[in-house]
Amino acid sequence: MSLCVPTFTDPLLAPIADKVVAGEPLSLADGVTLYASRDLHGIGRLANHVRETLHGNKAFFNRNRHINYTNVCALSCKFCSFYRKRGEDGAYEMPVEQVVETALKARDAGATEVHVVGGLHPWLKFDYYTDMLSGIRAACPDLHIKAFTAIEIIHFSRIARLSIEGVLTALRDAGLGSLPGGGAEIFDDRVHDEVFKGKVRSDKWFEVHRTAHSLGIYSNATMLYGHVETVPERVGHLIKLRELQAHSLATAPAAFNCMVPLSFIPDQSELGHLPGPTGLTDLKTLAIARLMLNNIPHIKAFWIMQGIGLSQVALDWGCDDLDGTVVWYDITKREGDRGTTHQELHVTDIQRLIREAGRTPVERDTLYREIVRHAESALALS
Ligand code: SF4
């Protein structure tokens, strides 16, 4: 590595830094040591060292729009404030035409991606999802469709009576471009049984992503942290992601593009009595994700879950991506009941935030290819 290796006030970090510089994977014990350390700036500098080695001064963003097609869900995960039961106040499901119309509006506003996820609707047929994809594909042939978490894919395999490979192939043929990383939560049976028991266990999440990679479909990974999990469970989650990534890189035509640590927001969920993670836990987790995941290229500070201010700081703590314009996001509202689903950052605001953090804003597409716009069209779209 050509960049200066940082120094530490905590001597326990020095051997970890040696491993990082040598490109060796960190162990569970290393991850736990990082979380326990009071040398917060040392951890940040080490994560920044990796981030700058990989991406220099670039900070990525994209023009995207999230579409949450329904909040009706057969499950009731304790950490979730999004789901409603059918007929309940606030429950909704978008007709396919509305989803397509929303995608068209996004395309017309300059978006390169739609991010489409929803609840596990008990009555919608599999055709609804393939029609949605083919409708978007026909209306906006150049728009990348990133859609459906692993748990939705499992749900489709049940309602369509198809294998996971069969579902993914049908969705890809209808227009699916890549998978988002949601539904991972924490890969641990104890945590699973305590807060999202109705969901499939982690082996199924991995099966979906492993199969997607084998079919050439790229995906992202997430971790919902700061609720009932312990630090070793958090670090174990990261190691499991790293192991699948190693497998995919060695055997498959696609792999994880990006890891998105998601800060748990307790408001309105059944876990509303919990305090939620602090800013320091957020920063440490983002930095430790960068350090543990030496084979996943990008770490994202998703500004909706981390907050705009902390995401800006996170660009020095291992993160190289802020996500995008988003526009509408129904799954989490940072301000709880007072919040609105209209959560949008304009491109000029994202660029300003990145520049103020001393980084160079780089627009990317979903697969992290850089997008260069001519000045005139960039002005029209900002
Ligand atoms: S987290 Fe997903 S699966 Fe669980 S209740 Fe919420 S929408 Fe449903």
Report pLDDT digits (tens) over 304-348.
Answer: 889 899 999 999 999 999 988 876 666 665 555 555 566 778 899
Ligand 1 centroid to Cα of residue 153, in Å, is 13
CB 329 less than 6 A from any atom of ligand 1: no
pLDDT given for residue 335 in this prediction: 56
Out of 77, 88, 197, 222, mutate this one to test ligand 1's pocket (max ligand atoms within 8 Å of CB): namely 77
What pLDDT does residue 229 have? 95
Which residue stretches of the chain have pLDDT < 70? Answer: 1-5, 327-342, 375-382
User: How high is the pLDDT of residue 375?
Assistant: 60
Q: Which atom of ligand 1 is nearest to the CA of 119?
A: 7
> What pLDDT shows up at residue 5?
63
98: three-class secondary structure by DSSP:
helix
> 119 CA distance to ligand 1 centroid (A)?
6
pLDDT value of position 294:
97
Rounded distance between C-alpha atoms, residue 324 and residue 220, angstroms:
15
Q: What is the pLDDT of residue 364?
A: 96
The CB of 296 under 6 Å from ligand 1? The reply is no
Residue 336 confidence (pLDDT)? 54
**Gap between the Cα atoms of 139 and 351, Å rounded:** 29
Q: Which string of DSSP letters, residue by residue, matches 254-297?
A: --EEEEEEEE---TTSTTTTS----HHHHHHHHHHHHHH-TT--
pTM over 0.85: yes
Euclidean distance between CA atoms 226 and 1, whole angstroms? 33
- The pLDDT, as a whole number, for residue 78 is 87
pLDDT for residue 342: 67
Residue 237 is predicted with a pLDDT of 98
